[in-house]
Chain A
């Protein structure tokens, strides 16, 4: 037995040999070498000789930390090494454990005893090893078992050990919050003095603790204040400042006291890190102190002037913290900010971009965007998209608040989408559609831009732009009446390269093409009606056989109407011509309609083109494409006959056919001309709850179900139609005629809201509910029949949202942007107050029940630096604070000086403690209990510590409550 061990000891390869060996390997042979070494280690590590074992372990640790070789199999051997009496073995063992152990290491509990032994060791370095190890791997069990040992070490005579023990406390508290009971007092006492390493360590601990739950540390503010004033150690000062940033919002009086010393440090210190921390403290917490802000701004300016990119970045970063409230700070440094856009450091560029956008306002937006787009053209793809993204998000803020000239903005969108690196197709898509729906005046320009995008075959090759093209296609289909040349649009939509599009977008293309077809045919029929009416009215001499045909057709239509088939239609057929005629004079844009250039052949050509392109698609594997193609083809078949061979069938049955065709076209056109408008995200909220409706009390179980259908971003809207316009909407004058209708009824908005959420599951046929973006209903001739009721409701609804007093086109004043009142304007903000309300009410609830009434209001000055500071410590939380604070269970107890600080973790324990403490709070109802419990649970995650008052201390607190309630 002895000899192999001896041999191994004598001839074992050391760490150096391994390192050298690995370094001499080619990268190809390295892994072979390593696996050979591992084999060797596996043998050696089993040796009974601890020297051999520990050397093997050290080699393994090396391979693990540099070459990421698994060493979990050796965890037991590591434990063997730390139990060696020799310090060198211990050290190797502890290193291995620190590097490789985790919560899930099975043997981790085995080290508990060894750790305890080492923590109690007379050799301070062994203690130190054990502390280091515990701070790294401490589990709940380990921390619980060893808390008392650590506590003893916190009073060690050796500074070196004491500060390590304090460092370990952080791990202890995190894993085993009950350790607070034992250690907290000691920790607070360690704050005495101002410059020893101990204070540095304690402040570090408090800095981390207060980040999670600042309120509990408020009573220590005087101590921290003393350190802030007295300490000369920059590291300590930085941490104290961090603590104060957390405390300041909780105690308004703190700020006044703190501003001076902080400004002092800012002026005097040479350490940039401290200056920066002061700046950050001021700009985040003391924004209302002007002199401090000015000083901070001056210091920031110094940072910006530095060559060091880090300082420049941090300076910009600090300004961006100031920007929302103190825009002057940005404007003062405008030059540097703009310059930094072309800095080589990406972080600086991003930061300055943010600031440039912060400076953008109505007046300089166009200029800013122009400059930025130029930068985008020159930049690398990432930054280019950052720029585009921030332009897009700035411009759409609060429903395009900053934009006055929408024509300009729409063309900017077009320009942006042509930037080669543009990957913002989706956002541009949303905005194009959004603007189309909200801003009527911009539609002609929008269609023009969309057309330019569509007819460019090159764009189809860029997958990032597909979404954008889908928006362009939708816009062209929806607002085709503003187009100068629908035929050209149609050709663009049906071009062969559309096969490059994903099928979901292709369906949009097809649907838009269909809309355009309907539009063209409809205007063709109108033209003819126009002509016929002229013929009949004026008894024209024109001998056009076609028109006489039509006249008969017309008569048939009228006979149909006489039967009461569709009263609306009869109106239209008489009114249309006049509308179109007058429209000519009014409108300044020569839209296609007014040119009246649709010839019979062009319709036939359109039909043929569509048929040609769509026929192959009726066999498409994608159901959406297939269905749409079939629908359109069916329609084409229906109307094509009389269009394709009018001359042959001129006499006989053509009349009937054409009537059918024109009527079908009329219906579908009616469907398509319904206007789409935005729907408020909060529409649902405005619906009052009917009296008889009994709501389930607890709906939390619904959350799981509804979570999946949560709406995307605030400010979003769906494309369902709240606005069912009259079917004759195709000229600008007519559009304007529709502005006045009555406000909506709740039920419709409820319906719309529901529809919006569950768009996919609605059947479009029932009420002729109008094309949504992605799933337009197929042409269903019967659908327009019973639209009237729904139409009225929808018109009402729409009117509520359309605050439209539009001026005629092209007037430079800002066009009307459809907004949906409060709901949409500030959806982001609306979330928070609600939450706060909840918790606030919970807090008040608790206070009323006499639970949490603690802090006696300002009876002592928190900054009392005299010997009575401990007394003052716990007493300056006032009523206001506790109400504002969200964490109900978190108000610091009014402690006895002896019990000092404590915390809690909010569950069962807490409750029992509380009821013990508040024996006089007998009025506490179950409800209240539950309520506050819930809140506490809600916050439980943040508060892992347990308020650890010993019961003895709790009793004397209760008298404070009535005081507080006064």
Chain B
């Protein structure tokens, strides 16, 4: 086994609390499948047979019991539960499962929906014997109106500056705008080694990482690192060019033992990808080099290397905000070719269902209903003369006659009274909307009123 896959599915979805109040993030329905299905499917497609899923007890219970959450994957899922209230970061979680990790790992976040060619990332990892390789994509503009938000919200998040080398593969630099109070500082020693650096902004980190096993061992020794994205990745990127990583005597066995004794020093050493002897020899004998110009050896003797694959096209979403959730719902059906209407759904002949809508299992759609560009979850009942446009209706919702729902998100088990008019709203789960109620896009979070 070359790579072990690890799926991080314990996140709370803190940036879309409205949705995750009742349903945990990994179980949010996207295109009538739980969100967690997408990364699992991604892994299955590329041929993984086993995945370690790190999640909470609650999610595990739901997955194993609730038929609606059934994951139709053939892979063997090794589910590891962590305490929900332990406030563990992703790196903490990796440390937690260190015993299980025997090889290099591929870490995926549960909120990733992408059609990226995973082999690109893994190939970089293989070809350069990298310590880290990751996936990034151009950021997408969200086009849909977000319920409960007034106007188009500017993405308040700060930009990330990502520096790659001339080929666009090697990751040299990473900084957040927030940390750049003194302007962009790049060390000249890096510039001397790799004289061309492209600085890019407007990229989304897909939170998909290939990591060497030694990195996990490093995490085990270094308890202060708690998040992969926040701490580990910037640390690795920075470490590429620090002196201890390039000094030639690190492969000196005696030296290594010495360093192991004095506490902190060994933490850095262990993260080194120890090139095998043969590999080293190959590199020495080969005329191949990763750079031009100076006459130094390939990679300038840097033993810790980080690479990034930046997707030019294709879709890559991280469902961590409401806007992304809506966007993902709109695009997800394109990812898999299953019938838009589930065979078990009972659909009246005289209703109108747009081609871009999905209808879940055992739904009931009555006469003269019109459904466009929407997702209807399992066991949902839609009565006569209901119009649903641009909306997400989760499981077990009942929509009474003559309702008009537009651009909204209706969470599970809600009952919407007859003739209600709901536009650009977010309705929480298990609510009852009074008949003839009219809810228009309100400045405040309308959904909160229903909890």
A binds B: no
